[in-house]
Amino acid sequence: MTDLTGKTALVTGSVQGIGLAIARALAGAGARIAVHGLAGDMEIRDVCDDLKAAGSPQAEFFHGDLRNADQVDELMAAVEAWGGADILVNNAGIQHTAPLAQMPRETWDAILAVNLSAAFLTMRAALPIMAERGFGRVINIASVHGLVASRDKAPYVAAKHGLVGLSKVAALEYADQGDPVEGGITVNCLCPGWTETAIIEPQVAARAAEFGGNRQAGIADLLSEKQPSRRTSDPSEIGALALWLCAPAAHNVTGTAIPIDGGWTAQ
């Protein structure tokens, strides 16, 4: 079992979905969790209580609009004052589907800011401190769309491809840093396919409408196009892999983009 006692993890977008599942997995291994995301006070309290019940000795919420570079810097400074991130999970993401010619410029800017630029800013702040401490894990939640493209997702695909490339650069720059006994410093991407999260709901709803509102039929039709397993992933499965990447045994797993996609990108 991976033991993260004494370690602190910042997970962006950790109030729901994949981010919350990863936070739970890390909490279960004993990590302190810096929670982040868009939520009201009651939801924040519930998430922090949930993570402490899962095993985290501390779970505290940190504000920061990832569309705003100054707020990202402030977020990282606040986390550093709390003890600093030994584990950084860049999970927060937004998406909007529309043909390239109809994609609003402000939507492009927002998606690139949240899905790519924010990860650059958090990594720029966290990685030098990880190097000083001798241990660090950066896990960037990309997507199958960091490896292949789909129609009507120009900014999302561009951002996720960029995130994979950015992660490879960081992995190379920090590959020989840190303490090999502790596990060194690694930077990796996880690339989920269809996963049961809120971000896919607009696409599920649109497809379900083609089947008279039958949600399951809509999901099945979406899966038949892309995901050969015909099964969605559960966010907890992404959390389990993220936890393993934090183990010392994963010290030589760096610079990768790991698909969790039922064979989507194998085609």
3, part of any domain: no
Summarised one tens digit per residue, pLDDT across range 79-88 is 999 999 999 9
Residue 188 sits in the same domain as residue 201: no
250 assigned to some structural domain: yes
Q: Is the Cα dihedral 202, 26, 251, 237 positive or negative? A: negative
Q: Report pLDDT digits (tens) over 26-77.
A: 999 999 999 999 999 999 999 999 999 999 999 999 999 999 999 999 999 9
Q: Say whether both 12 and 116 belong to one domain.
A: yes
Instruction: State how far the alpha carbon of 174 is from the alpha carbons of 123, 142, 155, in Å.
Output: 11, 20, 28
Instruction: Tell whether 160 and 213 lie within a shared domain.
Output: no
Q: How does DSSP classify residue 232?
A: P
Could you tell me if residue 2 is inside a domain?
A: no
Residues 206 and 137 in one domain: no
**Mean pLDDT (10-residue bins), the chain, 267 residues:** 95 97 98 97 97 98 98 98 98 96 98 98 98 97 98 97 98 92 94 89 88 90 91 96 96 97 96
Assess whether 156 carries a catalytic annotation: yes
Q: Show the domain range for 103.
A: 8-193+234-260
93 within a domain of the structure (yes/no): yes
Single pTM value for the model:
0.94
pLDDT on residue 80:
98
Q: How many domains are there within the chain?
A: 2
In a domain, 86, yes or no: yes
Same domain, 242 and 225: no
Tell whether 15 and 117 lie within a shared domain. Answer: yes
Largest CA distance in the chain: 57
Active-site position among 135, 156, 174, 264: 156
User: At 76, which amino acid appears?
Assistant: M
**For residue 80, what is the domain's CATH number?**
3.40.50.720
Identify whether residues 164 and 214 lie together within a single domain. Answer: no
- Residue 98 has a pLDDT of 96
Task: Say yes or no: 185 and 135 in one domain.
Answer: yes
Q: What is the pLDDT of residues 110-123, one digit of tens each?
A: 999 999 999 999 99
Predicted pLDDT at 181: 82
Judge if 200 and 248 occupy the same domain.
no
Residue 1 lies inside a defined structural domain of this protein: no
Query: What pLDDT was estimated at residue 185?
Result: 98
State the burial class of residue 231 (Cβ atoms within 10 Å of its Cβ: 0-12, 13-18, 19+). exposed
The span from the CA of 75 to the CA of 117, in Å, is 14
**Strand-pair partners of 34:** 10, 60
Are residues 252 and 211 part of one domain? no
In a domain, 267, yes or no: no
